[in-house]
Amino acid sequence: MRNVLHYVMILILVAMATVLVSMGFDAIGLMPIEASAQSVPIDWLFALEMKATAFFFALIMVPLLYSLVVFRRRKGETGDGEHIEGHTGLEITWTIIPLIIVIALGIVGADNLRQIQSADPQAIEVKVIAHQWDWSFEYPPGFSSDELYLPVDQQVVLKMQSLDVIHSFWVAEFRIKQDVVPGRIIDYRVTPTLLGDYVVRCAELCGLKHAKMEKPVHVVTKAAYDKWVAEQTEAYLLVQANPNPDATRGEKLYSQTGCKTCHSLDGSKSIGPTWKGLFGSKVELADGTKVSADEAYLSESIKDPNAKIVAGFNANAMPDFGLILKDLQIKDLVAFIMTVK
């Protein structure tokens, strides 16, 4: 009878501890707000796992602490505790039950993944390019932006690629984290459900300035999105109709495409050569030769950075911006570099 009372007391304490630990997890607020359709099944599965964690934590700690208190050695006791042999039935039980739980979680997780990756044939497509240490976004018919605009309640498929190392696209409020692997185009599907401004961050350690690799994400109404796309398209087509290099546009690209991350304008040392006084100067290369920094050299250095390595700098430090920028944009950048004295 006494043993039954101990079991009953332990079960009651386990239930109480499970509820309290679960309430503690909820009170902490581990997850940010849900801002996508995909975040709903993810958060549901996460909540299920946290409740299971609370239960198993209680199932381990409560009997342990209960035994330490109730079955402790009392003053004057000198004998050994009761000798207990193994119990085959118990061992089989605690092997089979976890196996069933793991299989069940695998099935639930697979269904969760199916929901997240469900494709909408009407999804909007946006191209995403990742490189050290920046993101750029390209929309049809070809204009680029350094900010990601998404329409609310409309699935968007991001066609992501990396130009150098592995990066990872992560908007905490969308929940989905997707690695971007060099040499592959990775699909990332998201349906934003909450208007607002968010931030995309790289969640894969990718080098010196990994912590600064973030860009704004704006979830707007469909009308606002269509208006923004129309304005950007009009400006893009206007530039294409008048394809003359423009230093002002080049200065904007300097900030938008991440050039400022590695190239200073004031002569200060950085990851890449400074642009101050670069145009028209003599540049010493790693092989000891010197070349003139004319328009052809600057254009080649943007399109194929490893063609001529500047002395004192490393190869493969700069991605091939010929894959990111269009010819006119490269000309705009060269025009801007020519003005930096």
| Residue-range domain boundaries for the chain | 2-67+93-116, 124-241, 247-339
- Please answer whether residues 189 and 168 qualify as being in contact, where contact means their C-beta atoms are separated by less than 8 angstroms: no
Range in 56-65, 133-142, 183-192 the model is least confident about: 133-142
Q: Would you state the CATH architecture of domain 124-241?
A: Sandwich (2.60)
Query: Could you tell me the pLDDT band of residue 254, with boundaries at 50, 70 and 90?
Result: confident
- Counting residues of the chain whose pLDDT is more than 70, the rounded percentage is 99
| C-beta atoms surrounding 126 within 10 Å | 19
Integer Cα distance of 283 and 269 in angstroms: 15
Percentage of residues in the chain with pLDDT exceeding 90?
46
pLDDT score of 96: 94
Q: What is the pLDDT of residue 235?
A: 83
pLDDT at 1 (0 to 100): 64
Q: State residue 325's pLDDT score.
A: 79
Q: How far apart are CA 114 and CA 333, in angstroms?
A: 44
Q: Which CATH architecture has domain 247-339?
A: Orthogonal Bundle (1.10)
Strand partners, 266: none
More confident residue, 246 or 224: 224
CB neighbour class for 122 (10 Å; exposed up to 12, middle 13-18, buried from 19): exposed
The model's pTM: 0.76
**Minimum mean pLDDT range among 164-173, 246-255, 289-298:** 246-255
Question: What's the whole-number mean pLDDT along residues 180-185?
Answer: 92
